Amino acid sequence: MKITAEEVIYVANLARLNLAPEEVGPTTEQLGRILAYVEKLDALNTDGVAPATHALAVTNAFRDDEVRPSLPQQEALANGPQVNGEAFVVPRVI
Amino acid sequence: MELAHLTIHEVHGKLSRREISARELTESALARIAAVEERVHAFITLDREGALAQAAAADRLLAAGETNPLCGIPLAIKDVLCTRGLRTTCGSKILENFLPPYDAAVIEKLKAAGAVILGKASMDEFAMGSSNENCAYGAPHNPWQLDAVCGGSSGGSAAAVAADECIAALGSDTGGSIRQPASHCGVVGIKPTYGRVSRYGLLAYASSLDQIGPLTKDVRDAALMLNAISGHDQRDSTSVNVPVPDYSAALVEGLAGLKVGIPREYFGAGLDPEVAGAVRGTIRLLAEAGAEIVEVSLPHTEYGVAAYYIIAPAEASSNLARYDGVRFGYRDLAAETLHDMYRQSRSQGFGPEVKRRIIIGTYALSSGYYDAYYKKASQVRTLIVEDFTKALAQCDALISPVAPTPAWRLGEKTADPLSMYLSDALTIPTNLAGLPGISVPCGLSSAGLPIGVQLQAAPFAEEKLLRLAFNLEQRLGLVGRKPALA
């Protein structure tokens, strides 16, 4: 599988990233080299091998469902690039 | 000798006997920073006033009889950890003005112990890099040779410790990001077992691999720092509820009864002969100290980098989706639609390596490619975990180089991301398997750059690593050897 410029643009869009026209070529070339290297994994037979999603066997960690203080509204808003005193402001959606 | 040159355990004695004050100690570190920081660039943000206020508070605690070994100790904190009210950039432009509303769990613990936070140490953007050159605020310079890289991604933490700009530091390690810069800068660095230290308040890169750990001037300090930051935390659901021993009690002389394995795959092609020689020398020292040496095999070692560069970017592509310009971080205020706001804010805020990894990760998780890449890499991860399980059934710990070469020149590998990735081949498998690993200085190259030796052990066997590292350190006699940086 060789990644194409169209795929790079498509995936960048999925990730909400813009690539300038002059970035597409070099990015495609670099990703192609990285993915070609990663394809060395295909040399291994992994039939029947369970995928590891965690390094250690962890089970669900539960805690009591008790009410605890959370971030005050003004502190939560303090890092917002655009706020109106009680909410984050974003460009019109609908 | 200036106070800032000393270790935690050395200054703790002086502080608790009130021979020196925490204020004098912090002033010594700040004076050292003023003298060398222009050349080293270890910090992104300094907090002189905050540090002096914390030192004054530590002096009050010490006067009241506080005995915590970290009380009054000036530290550098990798800029990946949230510090309440103190700018936390993660090495990225996208968080240039981010003031965390809370402290990371490890910061809470350090503050409760009376430690002093000098500032936030330089790092590769979002901890993605092996040289610290992927930092939006400039790369730190290796104190041993200013035109060499510090390693990464915790390069600033390693440089600050090596240059005596602090007494100790915290870093984070996802594929070697504590151990490799520790090796390149000639300091001790330990990556604890996955789940040993709470990740609450650590800005996530690859959540199944990330772990916080200390960078210190010697092994005893590493044990003291690990005592301070370890422990279960309900706010990190992967934090493991295993009792925390007194790690400094593990530092006993002699290695009788311990068996150390040499993984033959870690000494393969591409290993610098000077690195190989220095590490082989430490193996002889372990034997002299009473350890039994055996050869073992980790047959899937060569697949570690390939598996990592699917798994880590896949997790990153999900974790970094939160930087959307809405609640925190940079926003392109000129964007007129929501989609443009997302795309423009992210594209202008993230640097090239971060974008590259987000795109790789998104691709690997996308429909049609998931099985070929992400599932395959996760299966290979299982094989790597099994390799370690088998090898560590035959011995107590594994000894190897940390990195295939000493530090390289700034700029040397920036044009070729893949060659940079391959420099982490010997540290990545530890993270894939969730094991603890430590880097200990073991020599200098003929060019005068530090070389480190790596020890790895089974989950929660940090005490064995510390005991081995302590004995090596005693026999190597390198502690106190400093870079010429005057």
Q: Which residues pair with B75 in a beta bridge?
A: B117, B168
Is residue A91 included in any domain, yes or no?
Answer: no
Is residue B152 included in any domain, yes or no?
Answer: yes
pLDDT tens sequence across B175-184: 999 999 999 9
Measured distance CA(B269)–CA(B147) in Å, rounded = 27
- Tell me the chain B residues in contact with residue A64 when contact means C-beta distances shorter than 8 Å: none
Measured distance CA(B352)–CA(B373) in Å, rounded = 22
Interchain pair B432, A55: CB under 8 A: yes
Say if the ipTM goes beyond 0.85: yes
Q: Does A18 touch chain B (CB under 8 A)?
A: yes
Which residue range(s) make up the domain with A12? 5-43
Asked if residue B223 and residue B169 are part of one domain, the reply reads yes
Q: What is the CATH number of the domain that holds A17?
A: 1.10.20.60
Is residue B353 included in any domain, yes or no?
Answer: yes
The β-bridge relationship of strands B168-173 and B188-191 is unpaired
Measured distance CA(B158)–CA(B183) in Å, rounded = 9
B445 carries an active-site annotation: no
pLDDT tens sequence across B272-309: 999 999 999 999 999 999 999 999 999 999 999 999 99
pLDDT tens sequence across B102-137: 999 999 999 999 999 999 999 999 999 999 999 999
Which residue range(s) make up the domain with B348? 302-379
Q: Check pLDDT > 70 for residue A1.
A: no
Q: Which of A1, A14, A49 is facing B366, going by the closest CB pair? A: A14
pLDDT for the residue B486: 52
Residue B184 to residues B132, B271, B408, B423, B439, Cα–Cα distance (Å): 12, 15, 9, 12, 10
Asked if residue B412 and residue B365 are part of one domain, the reply reads no
The count of structural domains within chain B is 2
Measured distance CA(B290)–CA(B309) in Å, rounded = 39
Q: What is the CATH number of the domain that holds B23?
A: 3.90.1300.10
Asked if residue B418 and residue B333 are part of one domain, the reply reads no
Q: Which of A17, A18, A34 is facing B418, going by the closest CB pair? A: A34
Is residue A94 included in any domain, yes or no?
Answer: no
CA distance A85 to chain B (A): 13
Asked if residue B441 and residue B357 are part of one domain, the reply reads no
Asked if residue B159 and residue B66 are part of one domain, the reply reads yes
CA distance B369 to chain A (A): 10
Interchain pair B378, A44: CB under 8 A: no
Asked if residue B140 and residue B184 are part of one domain, the reply reads yes
The count of structural domains within chain A is 1
Is residue B282 included in any domain, yes or no?
Answer: no
Asked if residue B175 and residue B128 are part of one domain, the reply reads yes
Q: Which of B157, B177, B198, B345 is catalytic?
A: B177
Asked if residue B372 and residue B238 are part of one domain, the reply reads no
Q: Which of B321, B373, B381 is facing A38, going by the closest CB pair? A: B373
The β-bridge relationship of strands B450-457 and B188-191 is unpaired
Q: Check pLDDT > 80 for residue B338.
A: yes
